[in-house]
Structure 1
Amino acid sequence: MKHFVIFLLFTCFSSFGQTKSFPNLAYGKSTQQVLDLYIPDGNLSDVPVVILLHGGAWSMGGLEYTRKHAQDICNQGFVVANVDYRYVTDKISAKDLLADINTAVNYVSDLSTKYGYAKNGYHIVGISAGAHLALLYGYTKKNVKSITALCAPSRLDSPEALEFLKKTGLLDIVEKLAGTNINANGINPALTVISPYNTISNIPTLLIHGDADPVVNVSQSQNLYAQLKSKGVETKLIIREGKGHDVGMNSPETETQNIKDITEWILQHNK
């Protein structure tokens, strides 16, 4: 009886029928190596599978940041894995966070036989720090069909980014992310390696950014968009006028539009 009640608590309905949610599935040994899996009803053989990554400056937050967005995307008929990952420390850097994401993707792939969705060829969506990781993962692992990045820090080795990091006290976190100390001039190849701007590959990329973002300047997405275009990568940039770092995801009307744009981009590239 207890298990039946728990099942009902994580079952909801959408315009596409019944959807099921399986929370806090462990894909690794760390308490943060967990994910929520959202599965719509029906035949899943051609349904897009989305890997969703939360934000939090690589050092805070968790699945609670993106649970509503994960459910909203699932309600459009998509399989969604809302993935948590470890925080950066003196011993955990970007390569470890990317390894977490890769392990989570493999875990989702392993579950495909049980639930009937695609075993590979997933789409990755991230917000803020999660958007940075989505871009970096998508461009370097080459096993995703599309990337969507909302308010993404994309070039951490630019003078403007470094100056901002110093002003906001985030330089220490980025040093942990890069796995090295940054000298007074900010000249460090490790920052270039973890900047998606410098790791671009031919993965269709949707960028969404608020032009009033006080945390990650809109120029980060504008410059990445220009670089993608120059390299012939299919891309689209959506600027949310007057929106800050949440890109309107905390406003019902704008969140609905963001979800619509995200799901349309994914469907367009789910081949």
Structure 2
Amino acid sequence: MKHFVLLLLFTCFSSFAQSKCFSHLAYGKSRQQVLDLYIPTGNLNDLPVVILLHGGAWSMGGLEYTGKHAQDICNQGFIVANVDYRYVSDKISARDLLADIGAAVAYVSDVSGKYGYSKNGYHIVGISAGAHLALLYGYTNKNMKSITALCAPSRLDSLEILEFLKKNGLLEVIEKLAGAKFNANGANPKFIAISPFSTISNTPTLLIHGDADPVVNVSQSQNLYIELKRKGVEAKLIIRDGKGHDVGMNTPETEVQNIKDITEWIELHNK
């Protein structure tokens, strides 16, 4: 484990000469309440600040999932906080994960004076489970200028999606996320409460989804986009033809296009 951490530190500091990465900064007491802060060289006054959330079904993964993407976004002239968060359990639900994100955002703001970037007015980006959390946090907090969600589960109160998750062994995870057992015969207010579809607020939202996603059907983003437009929220939907649940982020040319679309969306709303 010691050698792995040293490798992360070496990679963080030596991969790119034009930026620095301050690794495993603690924003809380849990070992997972840490973030990597990627900062370009030069004047940071007007640069966008991005909160990046990894995927992993709310129950696995970490900073290594999104480290390359964080560096790629940073290389476009952005400050990036690549944020880890606790896994769901019988005692940790979506409310706690949102509290983790809130604490991470507060930490990034608190240390802004030390590094010289903006104290507020940030953007949030997430992939998969991280996209769900990015949407949920962005819609229930007023401190984000924009949201970008890649392959996001957006309606967890849907019987269709829950039956699909059950077949894939993820229903128990969703129940822990909601802090309740799913009842297919009645209303599930706690599942509605953790569904971004039901918590929409006026935060500009970019949705990117693969039309061959076998884990989160593309209809989740399509239906959210329709609802956003119906409610008058500025939104954009990009469908990646033939791409699966990684939305092409593991394919060099598609990752480049995704990073371009993400950074252009952020720049558009960094006023």
The normalised TM-score by structure 1 is 0.95
1:11 Cα offset (Å)? 3.2
Paired position in structure 1 for 2:133: 133
Paired position in structure 2 for 1:220: 220
Whether the 8 Å CA contact 1:207–1:225 is kept in 2: the answer is yes
Secondary structure of the 2:18 match is strand
Distance 1:256-1:175 versus aligned 2 partners, 3 A rule: same
1:142 Cα offset (Å)? 1.1
- Provide the C-alpha distance between the structure 1 equivalents of 2:55 and 2:9, rounded to a whole number of angstroms: 28
Of residues 13, 36, 50, the one that matches 1:11 is: 13
1:113 Cα offset (Å)? 0.4
Paired position in structure 2 for 1:3: none
Q: Which runs of 5+ in 1 are unaligned?
A: 1-5
- Provide the C-alpha distance between the structure 2 equivalents of 1:83 and 1:263, rounded to a whole number of angstroms: 18
Secondary structure of the 2:203 match is coil
Whether the 8 Å CA contact 1:162–1:186 is kept in 2: the answer is no
1:13 Cα offset (Å)? 7.1
Matched ranges for 1:23-102 at <5 A: 23-102=23-102
Q: More displaced, 160-169 or 23-32? A: 160-169
Paired position in structure 2 for 1:122: 122
- Provide the C-alpha distance between the structure 1 equivalents of 2:186 and 2:197, rounded to a whole number of angstroms: 17
Per-residue deviation, residues 109-136 of structure 1 (Å, max 9, x unmatched): 0110000100001000000000000000
Whether the 8 Å CA contact 1:12–1:18 is kept in 2: the answer is no
1:8 Cα offset (Å)? 7.1
Kindly provide the amino acid, as one letter, of the partner of residue 60 in structure 1: M
Secondary structure of the 1:147 match is strand
* Moved segments of 4+, more than 4 Å: 6-9
Counting aligned pairs with the same residue, the percent is 79
Paired position in structure 1 for 2:245: 245
- Provide the C-alpha distance between the structure 2 equivalents of 1:237 and 1:210, rounded to a whole number of angstroms: 11
Per-residue deviation, residues 137-189 of structure 1 (Å, max 9, x unmatched): 00001100000000000000112112112211111000000001112436311
Whether the 8 Å CA contact 2:9–2:23 is kept in 1: the answer is no
Distance 1:91-1:240 versus aligned 2 partners, 3 A rule: same
Per-residue deviation, residues 53-95 of structure 1 (Å, max 9, x unmatched): 0000000000000000000000001000000000000000000
Secondary structure of the 2:176 match is helix
Q: More displaced, 186-195 or 201-210? A: 186-195
Whether the 8 Å CA contact 1:12–1:19 is kept in 2: the answer is no
CA RMSD after TM alignment: 1.6
Paired position in structure 1 for 2:161: 161
Per-residue deviation, residues 34-67 of structure 1 (Å, max 9, x unmatched): 0000000111110000000000000000000000
Secondary structure of the 2:175 match is helix
Report how many aligned residue pairs link the two structures: 265
Distance 1:167-1:187 versus aligned 2 partners, 3 A rule: farther
- Provide the C-alpha distance between the structure 2 equivalents of 1:8 and 1:242, rounded to a whole number of angstroms: 36
Kindly provide the amino acid, as one letter, of the partner of residue 52 in structure 2: L
The normalised TM-score by structure 2 is 0.95
Whether the 8 Å CA contact 2:159–2:184 is kept in 1: the answer is no
Is residue 180 from structure 1 mapped to residue 180 from structure 2 by the alignment? yes
Distance 1:185-1:173 versus aligned 2 partners, 3 A rule: same
- Provide the C-alpha distance between the structure 2 equivalents of 1:62 and 1:21, rounded to a whole number of angstroms: 16
Q: Which runs of 5+ in 2 are unaligned?
A: 1-7
Secondary structure of the 1:236 match is strand
